[in-house]
Amino acid sequence: MTCRAEEIPNVGDHRGMDLRMGRDDVVALEEGFERDLRSNARVTSEKGESDVHHIVLDCGGIPFPVLEGQTVGVIPPGTDGSGKPHTLRLYSVASARDGETEGRGDFALTVKRVMHDRAGKTMAGIASNHLCDLVAGSRVQLVGPYGGSFLMPNDPAAKLLMIATGTAFSPMRAMIQRRQRRGELDPRTAVLFYGGRTPNEMPYYEELAAFAPEQLTLYPAFSRQPSQPLRYVQNALIEARDQVVSLLRDPLCHVYLCGLRSMEQDVMAYFHRICMAAHIDWPGLREHLHRGGRLHLETY
């Protein structure tokens, strides 16, 4: 996974959070620590191919020092074929900085059970299967949090243009949750393009669909919905091009894109196409967004 964006002041500001905590806690965060699993629930249909779980980890009532857009590393137990400990697997935190349950001292991860590699060959993911099979009360070994390039501006007037597919929606769920709790969720400043095969295979889709139009602008894109033509996030961007152009021109807009590297390439190509039609120099605008720390890409 790659995370690319320049950090600028007022993006994911740590004020109000003691990220240093106590000396013992700092050692734990640097060297690894354990947390209890509070709950583990599948959030995609049992009939679908995609087995995605919403996992909540208990921090014992103490806020976990994480910001929206950051990741934590999960270290599966045991060793690999050479006898070495398994390497960590990074997962984006799917809950706001004050927890999955506000004020309770917990945080959430979104985990897709991996059963095949990218070439389609059978290969069970070590970390994902470990997490998806855990029961409440299990201990999970973690490290982190990590990441400073996918953070959300503190300014409630900042506009969030969010584009994601599948479990890559996780960090954006955290951002939406944060703004909702602070009474700052507004459809003019929170715009989400969310793609997947079908609604049943898209994590948290029902949760998103429950938001009122006065809170969130949602553009869903289903690529395998029966009796409907293939529709990807790129198609949704074209259909909403007037709003996309308006956002890209806005100096308060931050663009967040999370998903497969191939999707990033497609979305960038469609941004170019949309901007050309609006007589905007997309390469120049992209460089301007990047230099200003307003283009946040997390792809793999």
CB–CB of 174/94 below 8 Å? Answer: yes
The tokens for 190 are: 């929170």
pLDDT value of residue 57 = 95
Closest CA to 162 of 109, 77, 221, 115: 221
The predicted-structure confidence for 18-37, as pLDDT tens digits, reads as follows 332 333 333 334 468 889 99
Maximal CA-CA distance, the chain: 58
| Least confident piece of the model among 5-14, 156-165, 171-180 | 5-14
249 has pLDDT over 90: yes
Instruction: Give domain limits for the chain.
Output: 2-146, 159-299
The predicted-structure confidence for 117-147, as pLDDT tens digits, reads as follows 777 788 788 999 999 999 999 999 999 999 9
Pairing state between β 159-165 and 253-259: parallel
pLDDT value of residue 53 = 96
The tokens for 223 are: 């690529």
In the chain, the amino acid numbered 66 is: V
pLDDT value of residue 173 = 97
pLDDT value of residue 31 = 61
**CATH number for the domain whose boundaries are 2-146:** 2.40.30.10
The tokens for 38 are: 């509070």
Tell me the CA end-to-end span of the chain in Å, nearest whole number.
4
In the chain, the amino acid numbered 195 is: G
Rounded percentage of the chain residues whose pLDDT exceeds 70: 90
State the Cα–Cα distance between residues 32 and 239, nearest whole angstrom.
46
The helix or strand, by DSSP H or E, that contains position 247, with its residue range, turns out to be helix 241-249
257 has pLDDT over 90: yes
With cut-offs at 50, 70 and 90, classify the pLDDT of residue 9: very low
Give the E-state strand segments of 70-124 in sequence order: 71-74, 89-92, 106-112
Rounded to the nearest integer, the mean pLDDT of the chain is 86
CB–CB of 162/150 below 8 Å? Answer: no
261 has pLDDT over 80: yes
State the Cα–Cα distance between residues 276 and 260, nearest whole angstrom.
25
Distance set, CA 167 to CA 44, 258, 276 (Å): 11, 9, 31
With cut-offs at 50, 70 and 90, classify the pLDDT of residue 212: confident
pLDDT value of residue 300 = 84
Q: What is the pTM of this model?
A: 0.87
The tokens for 255 are: 């663009």
The predicted-structure confidence for 185-199, as pLDDT tens digits, reads as follows 999 999 999 999 888
Distance set, CA 293 to CA 99, 261, 264 (Å): 26, 20, 17
Query: Looking at domain 159-299, which CATH architecture does it have?
Result: 3-Layer(aba) Sandwich (3.40)
| Least confident piece of the model among 93-97, 178-182, 223-227, 246-250 | 223-227
Pairing state between β 295-299 and 253-259: parallel
